[in-house]
Amino acid sequence: MPDDIIRQNIIDSLRKNPGIDTSKIHVEVKNGEVILKGKADTEIEKQNSGKIARSVAGVSKVENHLHIDLGIIHALTSLAAHIQGDIIKEDDDKET
C-alpha cells in the first residue's frame, strides 16, 4: 500500500477518536514505517495515537515521538489535586 494512503488512513482513524486532538499531530510515513510527531494533551492520548496508528493496514512500525503538552489540562489537574490536598489537610486539622 502506498505511504500516502497509509498516512491518510492513520489521520482518518485518529480523527474518529474524540479523545485525540489531531491538529497537534503530524504523521510521517516512509515504506510503511510511521513517525508520530507533535503534541498530546495526556499520556493516554499519546498511547492511543500510537495504538491507532499501529492498527492501520500497511503499517510495519510506529515511532511515537509525541510530547505531552503541559497545557490547560495539566494545569487544571494540578490545581484540583492541590485543592483536594488542602481539603484533606483541613479535615485532619479539625479532627485533632
Domain regions of the chain by residue span: 3-70
- Is the per-residue pLDDT at 93 higher than 70? no
Look at residue 89 in the predicted model and tell me its pLDDT. Answer: 64
User: pTM to 2 decimals?
Assistant: 0.72
Dig out the grid coordinates for 27 from the structure. Answer: 504523521
Provide the angle, in degrees to the nearest 10, between the axes of the packed helices 3-15 and 43-55.
Answer: 140
CA nearest neighbour of 20 among 32, 10, 8, 5: 10
Which CATH number fits the domain 3-70, given the four candidates 3.50.50.100, 3.30.70.920, 3.20.20.20, 3.30.1340.30?
3.30.1340.30
Distance CA 58, CA 3 (A): 8
For residue 24, pLDDT beyond 60: yes
pLDDT digits (tens, 9 = 90+) for 37-85: 999 988 899 999 999 999 999 999 999 999 987 666 666 776 777 787 7
